[in-house]
Amino acid sequence: MENPRAEIQDVVRSITEPQDAETVLANIDKYFTEDAYILHPAVNQPEFARGRDNLKALYYVFRKFSFENKIIFHAVMFSEDLTQCTLELTEIVRAGMYPLIGPSQSVRFLVRVDFRREADGKYRICRQHDNFISDIGMSGIRLFPGAAFLSNVIKASGALCGIVFGRYFGHHLITQPKKDAGQDTHDSSKPQGP
- For residue 124, give the nearest of 28, 58, 9 by alpha carbon: 28
- Identify whether residues 15 and 94 lie together within a single domain: yes
Distance (Å, rounded) from C-alpha 40 to C-alpha 33? Answer: 18
Confidence of residue 100 (pLDDT cuts 50, 70, 90): low
Residue 34 CA: distances (Å) to CA of 29, 51, 97, 153: 8, 6, 30, 46
Tell me: do 118 and 154 sit in the same domain.
no
In a domain, 149, yes or no: yes
Q: Which of 146, 149, 110 is nearest to 129 (CA)?
A: 110
Residues 157-181: pLDDT tens digits? 777 777 776 778 777 777 776 666 5
Residues 65 and 154 in one domain: no
Q: How many domains does the chain have?
A: 2
Do 137 and 123 belong together in one domain?
Answer: yes
> Which CATH number is 113's domain given?
3.10.450.50
Top-confidence range, 46-60, 90-104, 161-175:
46-60
Check residue 74 and report its DSSP letter: E
Q: Residues 134, 97: one domain?
A: yes
Residue 43 predicted with pLDDT over 60: yes
Checking phi first, is residue 159 left (phi over 0); if not, alpha (psi -120 to 50) or beta? Answer: alpha
Write out pLDDT tens, residues 74-87. 999 999 999 999 99
Domain around 39: 4-142
